[in-house]
Amino acid sequence: MKLRFLLPLALAFFACAPLPPLGPTGGTTPDTKPTPKPQDQEEPQKAEEQQVGERHSINVGIGLRKEVAVIECPEKKWEFKAGLNLGKTEIETEGNCKYGDKTYRGNWTVLSTDSGLTIINTLSIEDYLKGVVPHEIGHLKLDEVEALKAQAVAARTYAYHHLNSRKSQGFDIYADTRDQVYNGRDGEDSLANEAILATTGLVIKYNGNLIEAYYHSTCGGKTESSEVWGQESKPYLIAVSDSAGGRAFCELSKYMKWEEKFGKEELVSLLQKNAMDARADKTFAFSKIEQILITEKFSSGRAKRLVVFTDKDSFEVFGDRIRRLFAREGKLLPSIPLGISQDKDIFVVTGSGYGHGIGMCQMGAIARAKEGQTFEDILKAYYTGISIEKY
C-alpha cells in the first residue's frame, strides 16, 4: 500500500499502494492515499507458480471502459472508439507517447469490447517504478534517499507479486490506489530514479517467496497485522512497534493524532449509505443512532469490532472496514479509530495514523533514513523475518 512533504512543515501536505496503499487521488502523498485493498482484487499468482518463468515487464491498466482513446506518439497518432474494430490492437513505439494529459514510456495495447476500451501501458518494471515511487512516498531530500530505496524495493516487490493479478481484465496492475499510483513520466524525480537504479532487481522475500509488500503513510507508533482485513495473519506482516526513546518515528505526520466530528442526523445518513460498502453484518433502515461502541480492539488499541445500536436493531463492522463506514464525500477515516465518544448531538471519532497500518510506515521510513538507517534496516524493521534478494 494512493498522499510536498513537511519535515518539519512540508509534512503537512502528505498515494499503492501499492498501498496504497499501502497505499490508495493520483499524484497523492502518503497521507492521502488508501493503499492497495487485497479483499477487492483477484488473487495474485505467486512468482513460483508462473508458467512462463520470470517476467521483467508489466502491463498497467491505464484506462478502463473508455468510449474514446487517443494515444499520441512521436511517430504516429492513434485514435480509437468503443464498438469499432473489436479485439486487440498492439502499438510498438519508441516511447514518450501521450495519453490523456500524461506522457508514458513503453508500448501500448488497446482492447476493444462491447463494454468499452481498455488502455494498457506495457513497460519494464524498472521504468514502471520511476512513475510510481515519487507518487507513493513523495519528492524527498538527499538525506532521505534510503527511504526512497526502501519504497523502490517495496513497490518492485508488490509489482512482481501482482503479475497476472488482473489477468481476466487483460493487464497486471491498476495505475491507481487499487494497486500503486502510476503517473508515467509525469512527476518523475531524479533522486527517486537514482534510488531505483541503486536497488535494481532487489525484492523482499520470506522463505524464498515474494511477500505482499503492503505499505501506508503513518502508523502512529505501531503497525498492524493483516488481520485488520479479516485475513489470517502473515508471519512477515505482524504488528510491530515503530517507536524509539518514547517517540514514534512518524510523529511529524499531521495525522499522528486526528479527530473527526459527526452530527447525529449526518451520521444516520452516512451509516445507512456506507453500511454495505463497509460490509456490515446486516443492513436495514433506521432513523436514530442510540449508541456506538468499540467492543474489541487490536493490540495497537485500534478498533477491531464496532457495534452501532439504532432505534431498529444493531449491526457490526470489522477492522479496516470501519474507515469506510464513516466515509463522507468519498473520504475514508484516516485510520481505524482508537475511540468514539458522544457529546450531546455530536459523535467524536479519534485516531492515530493514516492508512491501514500494515507493513512499511512511509513517514517512519523517512524519519529512519534521516537518522542514518539503510534501506535494508528500514525494510527489516517493518517486514518481520524477511530477506532482500535479487530477483
Strand partners, 174: 61
Q: What's the full length of the chain, in residues? A: 391
The pLDDT value given to residue 59: 96
Residue 34 has pLDDT above 70, yes or no: no
Q: Which amino acid is at 74?
A: P
Please tell me whether residue 194 adopts helix, strand or coil conformation. Answer: helix
The pLDDT value given to residue 233: 85
d(CA 76, CA 141) in angstroms, rounded, equals 38
d(CA 151, CA 168) in angstroms, rounded, equals 28
Q: Given CA atoms 136, 142, 144, 145 in this order, what sign does their dihedral have?
A: positive
Summarize the confidence of residues 105-117 as an average pLDDT.
93
Q: Which amino acid is at 197?
A: L
d(CA 64, CA 209) in angstroms, rounded, equals 31
DSSP for 52-104 reads T----EEEEEEEEEESEEEEE-SS-EEEEETTSS-EEEEE---S-EEETTEEE
Q: Calculate the alpha carbon distances from 67 to 18, 56, 129, 136 in Å.
A: 28, 31, 28, 29
279-291 per-position pLDDT tens digit: 999 999 999 999 9
Task: Choose between 28 and 340: higher pLDDT.
Answer: 340
Sheet of 102-104, strands arranged across: 77-81, 68-72, 97-99, 102-104
Residue 378 has pLDDT above 50, yes or no: yes
* Backbone phi and psi for residue 245, each to the nearest 5 degrees, phi listed first: 60, 30
Residues whose CB falls within 8 Å of the CB of residue 56, separated by 6 or more in sequence, listed in order: 124, 125, 126
Residue 49 has pLDDT above 50, yes or no: no
Please tell me whether residue 106 adopts helix, strand or coil conformation. Answer: coil
Q: How confident is the model at residue 331 (pLDDT cuts 50, 70, 90)?
A: very high
Element of type H or E holding 167: none
DSSP for 183-241 reads -TTTT--HHHHHHHHHTTTEEEEETTEE----EESB-TTB-B-GGGGTSPPPTTS---B
* Region of poorest pLDDT, from 53-62, 116-125, 187-196, 228-237: 53-62
The pLDDT value given to residue 237: 96
Q: What is the grid cell recorded at 296? A: 474489541
Summarize the confidence of residues 248-265 as an average pLDDT.
96
Q: What rounded mean pLDDT belongs to the chain?
A: 87
208-238 per-position pLDDT tens digit: 999 999 999 999 999 999 999 988 889 999 9
The pLDDT value given to residue 86: 87
DSSP 109: E
The pLDDT value given to residue 83: 83
Q: Which amino acid is at 169?
A: Q
The half-sphere exposure of 91 on its side-chain side, counting CA atoms within 13 A, is 28
Residue 379 has pLDDT above 50, yes or no: yes
341-354 per-position pLDDT tens digit: 999 899 999 999 99
d(CA 249, CA 223) in angstroms, rounded, equals 12
Summarize the confidence of residues 113-122 as an average pLDDT.
93
Q: What is the grid cell recorded at 87? A: 479485439
Please count the other Cβ atoms lying within 10 Å of the Cβ belonging to residue 284.
12
Residues whose CB falls within 8 Å of the CB of residue 53, separated by 6 or more in sequence, listed in order: none
The pLDDT value given to residue 36: 40
| Range picked from 29-38, 110-119, 150-159, 161-170 for highest mean pLDDT | 150-159
Residues whose CB falls within 8 Å of the CB of residue 204, separated by 6 or more in sequence, listed in order: 153, 154, 157, 210, 211, 213, 379, 383, 386, 387, 388
Residue whose C-alpha cell is 530477506: 387
d(CA 154, CA 368) in angstroms, rounded, equals 16
132-167 per-position pLDDT tens digit: 999 999 999 999 999 999 999 999 999 999 999 998
68-89 per-position pLDDT tens digit: 999 999 999 999 999 887 899 9
Residue 44 has pLDDT above 60, yes or no: no
